[in-house]
Amino acid sequence: MPDLDVVILAAGKGTRMYSDIPKVLHPLAGRPLVSHVIDTARGLGAQRIVMVYGHGANAVRDALDARDVEFVVQEPQLGTGHAMLQALPILRSALTLVLYGDVPLVRQDTLKRLIGTGTELALLTCETDDPAGYGRIVRDRGGKVARIVEEKDATARQKSIREVNTGLLAVSTARLRDWLARIGNANAQREYYLTDIAALAVMDKATIATVSPQHGWEVAGVNSKAQLARLERIWQWEHAQTLMAQGITLADPTRIDVRGRLVCGRDVFIDVNCVFEGHVALGDRVKIGPNCVIRESEIGANSEVLAFSHLDRTAAGDACRIGPYARLRPGTRLANQVHVGNFVEIKASEIGERSKANHLAYVGDSSVGRNVNIGAGTITCNYDGANKHRTVIEDDVFIGSDTQLVAPVTVTRGSTIGAGSTITRDTPPGELTLSRADQISVPGWKRPAKKSS
């Protein structure tokens, strides 16, 4: 791999996005557009990565927190050639690769071919049936590149050319310094075009090569929400192909969204309309039901997450059964063979092996032991309006339905709590504890009737 610097041009405003968010920060697969470009540059082993940014400068730097990227402000924005001039003092390597912050899907293999041509200038070009909006590659009679003409400056004949310039290029840094000093702005936009270096290269008899990507979507840019949505589906489809190639079964590869990194073991099954955010790890033979959202979580082997469940920063052990309609909030830790049923919410709690909360319960800020049964309608009352308190439920406890555990409280080993109880004090081990008001019936009572109109 040659000695390489990468410059990412990311100063565009993104007017057609109709958003206060800088264009390069709009999310693709859960991450800013430009983050994908930075990762690609890192994968090429670049000596330095330079980002030229302008609109929303502070927001861009703060959102990325990329310590290995050197940021350069372009103010005002006078074109791509002017942007490269801002980065030029930082460049030290023999070769410079130019990428764009709103072109996120270009593959490393494509760029390796581009920087490996050995020429003084290598252009990434492609042929398209709809070249509108792109600069055209004008070739001489011998088929060599003569120059690049931007559409606003092109003649009708030039506009009919189907080979277009993608903007991505690799160039000798020494040559780049010379050519940038010589470009002008005598064009319809009154801007300094980086593409003008192609004509200068021809004039100087420099060697020019062209490389084309395997897929047209690799060089697709984002200038609108519609284009962003199209690239999102392309990214998800390609990622789905990768997952299936690894042996993961997807009920429908067009209905999965991975917004981060999904790592799976063997024989994993994922049903439709599931969303994975951040780093998610699924063990061997895990099954994910339809319409689940799983964020920053780990799920152990042979576990099943049933439909419409939400897991956020949760760790589940082996052979757990979660859902349907379960909500596991940050700080939830499930040991092996735990059952969390429908409409159960757990937050900041550890649940021991073979314990169950099968329906309609809330467990928060709690430590739950092994072999515990939490009945329907049970809640831990852990917040007094100012502070959180912890509930401890020890091993082999049975909690009857509709129980309130008012923290701080400990339900000791082997305790049984009668249904409908409110527990405010620690319970003795191995005994039945209950708290109920006397049941009464009122003789002669009649239910109120509606008044006749």
CA distance 167 to 99: 8
**CA angle at 154 for the pair 149 and 159, rounded to the nearest 5°:** 100
- Other C-beta atoms closer than 10 Å to the C-beta of 226 total 9
The one-letter amino acid code at 343 reads F
Query: Residue 158, Cβ neighbours under 10 Å: how many?
Result: 16
359 is catalytic: yes
Active-site entry in 215, 279, 359, 389: 359
Q: Which of 265, 269, 246 minimizes the C-alpha distance to 256?
A: 269
* CA distances to 48, 112, 206, 257, 415 from 333, in Å: 41, 44, 63, 25, 23
Q: Which of 14, 76, 74, 10 is nearest to 41 (CA)?
A: 10
**Residue 7, SS3 per DSSP:** strand
| Backbone phi and psi for residue 364, each to the nearest 5 degrees, phi listed first | -130, 145
By C-alpha distance, which of 68, 181, 74, 197 is closest to 145? 197
Extract long-range pairs of 415-422: CB within 8 Å, 24+ residues apart.
419/375
Residue given tokens 């990311």 in the structure block = 10
312 SS3 class: strand
Nearest to 104 by CA among 14, 208, 220: 220
Q: Looking at the DSSP assignment, which residues form a beta bridge with residue 53? A: 10, 73
Longest CA–CA span in the chain (Å) reads 109
Strands (E), 57-213: 69-73, 95-100, 121-127, 135-139, 145-149, 163-172, 208-211
Strands (E) in 179-255, as ranges, are: 208-211, 249-250
Cβ density class 244-259: b for 16+ within 10 Å, e for less = eeeebebeebebbbbb
Name the DSSP letter for residue 388: B
- Catalytic site positions: 359
